[in-house]
C-alpha cells in the first residue's frame, strides 16, 4: 500500500492559506453584510410581516416565525410566499 509522505510545515504555507481564507470570507460574506448596512436596505422585506412583528402578532426566533394567536390570511400568505411552512410539533 502506498503511503503519503508527510508535508513539512512552513510558516509561508500558513500565511498563504490564511490570506486566501480572508479574501474568500471578505468577498463572499462580509462584503455583502457591509453593503446591506451601508445602504440601509434589507432584501425580501415585507411590510405585512414587519408590521406583524412590530405589533407583536409574530416573533422571529432561531430561524422560525412564532405566533401566540391565529394569524390572518394576509400574514399567512406572506409567510407562504417566502417559503415558511407550518410545523405542528413546534406550533410555528
Is it the case that residue 19 has pLDDT exceeding 90? yes
- Domain residues for 58? 47-81
Q: For residue 20, what pLDDT is reported?
A: 93
What is the pLDDT confidence band of residue 89, given thresholds at 50, 70 and 90?
low
* 20, burial (CB in 10 Å: exposed 0-12, middle 13-18, buried 19+): exposed
In a domain, 3, yes or no: no
- Reported pTM: 0.43
In a domain, 15, yes or no: yes
In a domain, 73, yes or no: yes
In a domain, 91, yes or no: no
User: How far apart are alpha carbons 52 and 22 in whole angstroms?
Assistant: 39
Domain total in the chain: 2
In a domain, 29, yes or no: yes
In a domain, 60, yes or no: yes
**Phi and psi angles of residue 71, each rounded to the nearest 5 degrees, phi first:** -90, 150
Amino acid at each position: 500500500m502506498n503511503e503519503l509522505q508527510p508535508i513539512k510545515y512552513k510558516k509561508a504555507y500558513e500565511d498563504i492559506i490564511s490570506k486566501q481564507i480572508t479574501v474568500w470570507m471578505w468577498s463572499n460574506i462580509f462584503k455583502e453584510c457591509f453593503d446591506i448596512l451601508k445602504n440601509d436596505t434589507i432584501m425580501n422585506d415585507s411590510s405585512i410581516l414587519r408590521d406583524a412583528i412590530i405589533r407583536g402578532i409574530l416573533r422571529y426566533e432561531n430561524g422560525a416565525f412564532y405566533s401566540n394567536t391565529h394569524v390572518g390570511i394576509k400574514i399567512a400568505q406572506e409567510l407562504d410566499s417566502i417559503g415558511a411552512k407550518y410545523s405542528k410539533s413546534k406550533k410555528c
